Amino acid sequence: MTPTVLVLSTSAQLFETSARRFTAAVGEAIEARGTAHVALAGGSTPAGLYERLSQPESRARFDWKRIHIWWSDERAVPPDDAASNYGMARDSLLRHLDLQPGQVHRMVASPASLEASARRHEEEVRGAVPMEGEWPRYDLVMLGIGADGHTASLFPHHPELAVVDRLVAPVMNAPQWPRLTLTLPVINAARNVIVLGAGITKARAVARALTGEPGPDCPASLVRPDPGHLLWIIDEEANRIRGGSLPWE
C-alpha cells in the first residue's frame, strides 16, 4: 500500500485538510454501513484537528449520532490528567457534541492492572467493531508520530511491535507513563489510517517512516494498512528532510 502524502504550508491548512479527510472517511462508512468506528490519536498535534471538527461547519458534515469514538492508545493516567488522550479529545471535541454514552469507548488504562485493562478494552472492541476476517476493522484509525518514530504507543524495538495475537497490548516500560495501545495487525486492518505529523522535530522520523524498508527502529514505518488506505498529512517542517531541504545525516 503506497501511502498518500499531503504536505501543507500552515497549521490551519493542516487541520482543515485533516478535518476534511476525517469527514470523508466517516461519511463513506456511514453511507456504506450506517455506522463509523473511528480510533482517535493521542498526543498534542491532533487537538487542532479536533477543535476544527468541533466547529459548526464541520459538525454539519455528517450525522455524529452514527459515529463510535475509540482511541489508538492511552496513557495510564486519570481522565482529568493533562496527559490523558481521552481528556484531550473530550475537551477539544467531545464536549461540543451531543453523543450518547454508548458512542464513546474510552480506553481505560489502569496502572495497577494494565493487563486486565487491555483485555477489557479488547472485549469491548470485539463486541462492537465489525470483524472482517480475524480482525476488527475500524473505518478510520488516526495516528501521530513521535520524534523517535513511535506511533500510538508502539515504540522502537519494543516487544509490542511483535504482538500479532491481540487487539490491545499493555505497554509497561513506555516513556513517561505505562500505556495501552492498539496492535499493528489491528491498525493495519483499518479501512483508513491517517498519520498526522507537524514540526521540525518530526522531520527525521517522517523521512525514515516514508523511505526505506519498514523496520522496528521506526514503528510508524510498520503502519501499512492493506487493503486499507494510508494517508500522511504533514506540514513543511515535518517534511524538510524527506522533501530534501535538509540533509538526512
DSSP-assigned beta bridge partners for residue 8: 235
Question: How many binding residues for ligand 6PG (CB under 6 A)?
Answer: 16
Minimum distance between the CB of residue 185 and ligand 6PG, rounded to whole angstroms?
A: 17
Nearer to ligand 6PG, 29 or 171 (CB): 171
What the block records as the C-alpha cell of 56 is: 459548526
Binding string, 118-147, against ligand 6PG, x = CB under 6 A? --------------------------xxx-
Q: How far is the CB of 153 from ligand 6PG (least distance, A)?
A: 6
Set of cell numbers at residue 245: 531541504
CA distance linking residue 170 with residue 108, whole number of Å? 11
Contact status: 208 vs ligand 6PG (CB under 6 A): no
Instruction: Pick the closer one to ligand 6PG by CB: 58 or 153.
Output: 153
Residues 169-198 as x/- pattern, contact with ligand 6PG by CB under 6 A: ------------------------------
CB of 189 to ligand 6PG, least distance (A): 18
Among 18, 84, 92, 153, binds ligand 6PG (CB under 6 A): 153
Give the residue, chosen from 42, 136, 149, 225, that forms a contact with ligand 6PG under the rule CB under 6 A: 42
Q: Interface with ligand 6PG by CB under 6 A: which residues?
A: 41-45, 72-73, 75, 85, 144-146, 150-153
